[in-house]
Structure 1
Amino acid sequence: MTATNATLLRPFYITMLLLSISYGAQAATAVGISEWVPQAKLVGQARMTYLFWDVYDTRLYAADGKWQASAPFALELSYLRDLDGEAIAKRSIEEIRKQGFTDEATLARWYQQLSRIFPNVKNGTRLMGVVDQQQITRFYLDGLPLAEVNAPLFSTWFFNIWLSEATSEPTLRAQLLGEQS
């Protein structure tokens, strides 16, 4: 191959590399779900809107598309705007507090963990939390492993933000659980 041909093919090689990286990220997401949530299927999906801003699209996956709090599941958020990771952590703790969790020392510890885990996100960033049979939460960023929280109490209260009957977003919850389109 001549230097001219190699130069002409460079965009092709770059495109193939980017496609393989993109495919790898998608495969990691699928592995993350299928490894921890057997027979995972979409339960429901919803768009989170705050005032007039679309914030993220969310999807809930569970075995055979039937969510149970005590069984493995995955919740994916696809962000539609740029947000600061620390602001996401702060809002998460506020929502857990609204659910009725009052142990401030534990909330402070969880805030510190979430502040370290959650990156700044941009439009198109995907964060996924996967809860396994032991109620351990694994977080993925754009399909790649991000962090693990081995605390069943955390898993329960964190995902209650979206899935509890006491959620601040009951319509979103109903859509995620497939009760409302």
Structure 2
Amino acid sequence: MLGLLAALGTSAAAGWQQALPAARVVGSGEFSWFGFKLYNARLWSPVTPLAADTPFALELTYRRSISRDDLVQASLDEIKRLSGPAVSAEQLSRWQAQMQQSFVDVQAGTVITGVFLPGQGAQFFVDQQLRHEVRDPAFARAFFDIWLDPRTRNPQLRRQLLGQAQP
């Protein structure tokens, strides 16, 4: 029994790393908005440079309090901006519901890690605990494009995450 409890404890402690056991930091940077430092970001992957259909994890360590509703709305706004008419209102509504389940109200120090699983979807961990899994590859691509698409609002952070610039 003790061995089973130890194994379960190790598994729970592994968090998102269990999905990407060979992952290492590709790059990192900080996101600020109008001078306010919102979060530190790190991109993890077993493969560098990051290839198109490689699994990866995007870890965001928040520096201030932000409500779940604000996180969801900001994500939706960016997905709409990047996707345009390619994403229907119905699809956005489904994705909004998925993000409501995936995110939490954050405080300084809260860590949310999203894991991109090509062809499957995404997993979201809050402080190393699996919060929600979204089995929708289109959502996963659209969500992570917020940071990794060349048209991102913060091209400097994108370059840092991809290991192309110093933080």
**TM-score (norm: length of structure 2):** 0.86
CA distance in 1 between counterparts of 2:154 and 2:160 reads 10
> 72, 79, 83: which one pairs with 2:55?
72
CA distance in 2 between counterparts of 1:133 and 1:117 reads 18
Q: How does 1:127-138 map to 2 (within 5 A)?
A: 127-138=112-123
Q: Structure 1: state its 5+ residue gaps.
A: 1-22
Partner of 1:55, secondary structure, is strand
Say if 1:100 and 1:150 are closer, same or farther in 2 by CA, change over 3 A: same
Q: What is aligned with 1:173?
A: 158
CA distance in 2 between counterparts of 1:24 and 1:53 reads 37
Q: What is aligned with 2:69?
A: 86
Compare 94-103 and 72-81 and name the one that shifted more.
94-103
CA distance in 2 between counterparts of 1:172 and 1:162 reads 8
Cα pair 1:85 1:115 within 8 Å, conserved: yes
Q: Structure 2: state its 5+ residue gaps.
A: 1-8
Q: Please list every run of at least 4 consecutive aligned residues from structure 1 whose deviation after the TM superposition is greater than 4 angstroms.
A: 23-26
Deviation at 1:118, TM superposition (A): 1.1
1:42-75 Cα deviation digits (max 9, x unpaired): 0000100000100000000011443123111000
Say if 1:146 and 1:161 are closer, same or farther in 2 by CA, change over 3 A: same
Q: What is aligned with 2:39?
A: 56
The root-mean-square deviation of aligned C-alpha atoms, in Å, is: 1.9
Say if 1:124 and 1:142 are closer, same or farther in 2 by CA, change over 3 A: same
Q: How does 1:1-181 map to 2 (within 5 A)?
A: 27-29=13-15, 32-33=16-17, 35-102=18-85, 103-181=88-166
Partner of 1:100, secondary structure, is helix
CA distance in 2 between counterparts of 1:68 and 1:94 reads 26
Say if 1:59 and 1:165 are closer, same or farther in 2 by CA, change over 3 A: same
**TM-score (norm: length of structure 1):** 0.80
Cα pair 2:47 2:54 within 8 Å, conserved: no
CA distance in 2 between counterparts of 1:69 and 1:141 reads 25
Pick the structure with greater CA Rg.
1
Cα pair 1:25 1:142 within 8 Å, conserved: no
CA distance in 2 between counterparts of 1:135 and 1:178 reads 25
Deviation at 1:136, TM superposition (A): 2.0
Partner of 2:83, secondary structure, is coil
**Aligned-residue identity in percent:** 33
Aligned length: 156
